[in-house]
Amino acid sequence: MSPRSRLSLVSCFIAVAHAGLPFPSFPQVSIPNTFPQLSACLSAPSFFSCENTTSIADTCCSPTPGGLVLQTQFWDTFTGFEKKGQLLPKNSWTIHGLWPDNCDGSFEQYCDLSRQFDPAPSPAILPDGTVVPPYIGPGVDTFVKAFGRADLLAFMNDYWVSQGSPNADFWGHEFSKHATCTSTFDVACYGTHYRKHQDVVDFFDAVVRAFHQYPTFNMLASAGITPSNVTTYTLSQLQNAIKTQTGSIPFFGCTTNGTVLSEVWYFSHVHGTEQFGAYKTIDSTTKSSCSAAGIRYLERTRTSEREVR
Ligand SMILES: *[C@@H]1O[C@H](CO)[C@@H](O)[C@H](O)[C@H]1NC(C)=O
Ligand SMILES: *[C@@H]1O[C@H](CO)[C@@H](O)[C@H](O)[C@H]1NC(C)=O
Ligand SMILES: *[C@@H]1O[C@H](CO)[C@@H](O)[C@H](O)[C@H]1NC(C)=O
């Protein structure tokens, strides 16, 4: 658009506004933000998580103890909820979650039962005997809507697709099981003006941002690795295709005795917060569950997919 036409659009807008004609007005109250209050981090040292040489004083500034961050994805061939319109995005893997492993690969789960939004906790009883009660309130999708984030909700319904349960149940599970153990999403990090569920929406935004860093389908396809019900691949073919792009070997998960590719986990350390920081990939700390060779990367059932662009 030339400067001239832009100018005329502006003057047109002003003219309409002055005339008091019906015109899509700006919202009176703007949509509340969902970011944490990080000004206390400015005077603290910054580093990649799990690489700090001194102890982390303010856990809002860096995920701790869960500084080994995993962005996890699924390759499913069906959802089981096709009749409800829950379909997989063509030419893309789907989001599983964003997990806070401890630096040694162990992990915590369901760390804050006051933020328990998982209708079907798994495990329902934690190793220390704590019972995780099933959540029966409104789905976490309603939290996203309440913050005016139809854009985020649409993306999640396209790319964060559950198998065997409604999407919102799965998102609630991921938040309550994992994000409550990720210190940068602690309620205290949002300051004194915390609005309920700000942390939930902020986490979903962070998951989507992390997912964008690892376009698995395209990275594999660009290396000639595409879904096929005929061909098989070796584990090193899969690993090399990703390593040449991210610098590290992710975890590949397979079902059916290591023969059917079903998931990928990207491991990283993060500088600053999971919300805004830079992710530095590192090699998986977990051994692949796929066989060395003969791995099937199955084509999806045609009626389980849809075009999402
Ligand atoms: C980094 O900080 C955490 C939290 O204070 C601490 O537990 C950990 O020991 C520190 N790591 C190193 C290498 O000093
Ligand atoms: C996996 O392999 C074992 C031993 O070869 C076999 O008994 C079992 O049925 C296999 N499982 C599946 C799911 O194929
Ligand atoms: C590929 O094979 C899987 C597993 O048998 C099946 O579910 C899927 O429908 C097949 N896809 C196509 C396009 O034939």
On the question of pLDDT at 294 being above 60, the answer is: yes
**What is d(CA 133, CA 214) in angstroms, rounded to the nearest whole number?**
34
Helices (H) and strands (E) in the chain — how many of each? 7, 7
**What is d(CA 141, CA 150) in angstroms, rounded to the nearest whole number?**
10
Distance between Cα 296 and ligand 2 center (Å):
16
Joined tokens for residue 130: 């704590």
* Higher per-residue pLDDT: 11 or 86: 86
The predicted pLDDT at position 250 comes to: 98
Q: Taking residues 111-130, what's their average pLDDT?
A: 97
**What is d(CA 71, CA 148) in angstroms, rounded to the nearest whole number?**
26
Distance between Cα 113 and ligand 3 center (Å):
40
Structural domain that includes position 252:
46-52+60-306
- Alpha-helical segments (H) within 133-234: 140-146, 150-159, 167-178, 198-212, 216-222
Residues with CB under 6 A from ligand 1: 52-56, 64
Q: Taking residues 43-49, what's their average pLDDT?
A: 95
Tally Cβ neighbours within 10 Å of residue 307.
8
> Residue 187 sits in a domain of what CATH number?
3.90.730.10
Model confidence at 246, pLDDT cuts 50, 70, 90, reads very high
Q: Ligand nearest 256 Cα, by number?
A: 2
Nearest to 147 by CA among 309, 254, 27: 27
The predicted pLDDT at position 31 comes to: 84
**What is d(CA 20, CA 36) in angstroms, rounded to the nearest whole number?**
39
User: Residue 194: which residues within 8 A CB-CB, separation 6 or more?
Assistant: 187
Q: Taking residues 236-264, what's their average pLDDT?
A: 98
Query: How does DSSP assign 58-121, residue by residue?
Result: -TTSS--S--EEEEEEE--S--S-GGGT--EETT--EEEEEEEE-TTS-B-----GGG---SS-
**Residue 262 lies inside a defined structural domain of this protein:** yes
The predicted pLDDT at position 3 comes to: 39
On the question of pLDDT at 170 being above 90, the answer is: yes
**Residue 252 lies inside a defined structural domain of this protein:** yes
**Residue 26 lies inside a defined structural domain of this protein:** no
The helix-helix angle for 150-159 and 198-212 (nearest 10°) equals 50
Atom of ligand 2 nearest to the CA of 259: 14
**What is d(CA 161, CA 171) in angstroms, rounded to the nearest whole number?**
9
Mutate to test the pocket of ligand 1, among 52, 58, 183, 270 (most ligand atoms within 8 A of CB): 52
**Residue 2 lies inside a defined structural domain of this protein:** no
> What share of the chain has pLDDT > 70, as a percent?
91
**Residue 280 lies inside a defined structural domain of this protein:** yes
Task: Domain count for the chain, please give it.
Answer: 1
On the question of pLDDT at 137 being above 80, the answer is: yes
Distance between Cα 65 and ligand 1 center (Å):
8
On the question of pLDDT at 10 being above 70, the answer is: no
Average pLDDT, the chain: 92
The predicted pLDDT at position 4 comes to: 39
Contact 180, 132 (CB under 8 A): no
> What share of the chain has pLDDT > 90, as a percent?
89
**What is d(CA 116, CA 172) in angstroms, rounded to the nearest whole number?**
8
Judged by phi (left if over 0) then psi (alpha if -120 to 50, else beta), residue 197 lies in: left
Nearest to 92 by CA among 216, 260, 230: 216
* Higher per-residue pLDDT: 129 or 5: 129
The predicted pLDDT at position 141 comes to: 98
The predicted pLDDT at position 184 comes to: 98
On the question of pLDDT at 248 being above 80, the answer is: yes
* Higher per-residue pLDDT: 20 or 168: 168
On the question of pLDDT at 271 being above 70, the answer is: yes
**Residue 16 lies inside a defined structural domain of this protein:** no
The predicted pLDDT at position 25 comes to: 57
The predicted pLDDT at position 30 comes to: 82
The predicted pLDDT at position 27 comes to: 55
Indicate which residues carry an active-site annotation.
96, 174, 178
On the question of pLDDT at 153 being above 80, the answer is: yes
Rounded to 10 degrees, what is the CA torsion of 200, 206, 208, 212? 180
On the question of pLDDT at 176 being above 70, the answer is: yes
Contact 50, 282 (CB under 8 A): no
**What is d(CA 33, CA 4) in angstroms, rounded to the nearest whole number?**
35
On the question of pLDDT at 90 being above 80, the answer is: yes
Q: Taking residues 96-108, what's their average pLDDT?
A: 97
On the question of pLDDT at 5 being above 50, the answer is: no
Q: Which range has the worst mean pLDDT, 1-5, 158-162, 184-188, 255-259?
A: 1-5
**Residue 289 lies inside a defined structural domain of this protein:** yes
Model confidence at 249, pLDDT cuts 50, 70, 90, reads very high
Q: Is the CB of 37 under 6 A from ligand 3?
A: no
Burial class (CB in 10 A: 0-12, 13-18, 19+), 237: middle
The helix-helix angle for 167-178 and 198-212 (nearest 10°) equals 100
**Residue 164 lies inside a defined structural domain of this protein:** yes
H or E segment to which residue 263 belongs: strand 260-271
Measuring from atom 9 of ligand 3, which residue has the nearest CA? 301
The residues pairing with 71 across neighbouring beta strands, listed in sequence order, are 98, 266
**What is d(CA 224, CA 220) in angstroms, rounded to the nearest whole number?**
7
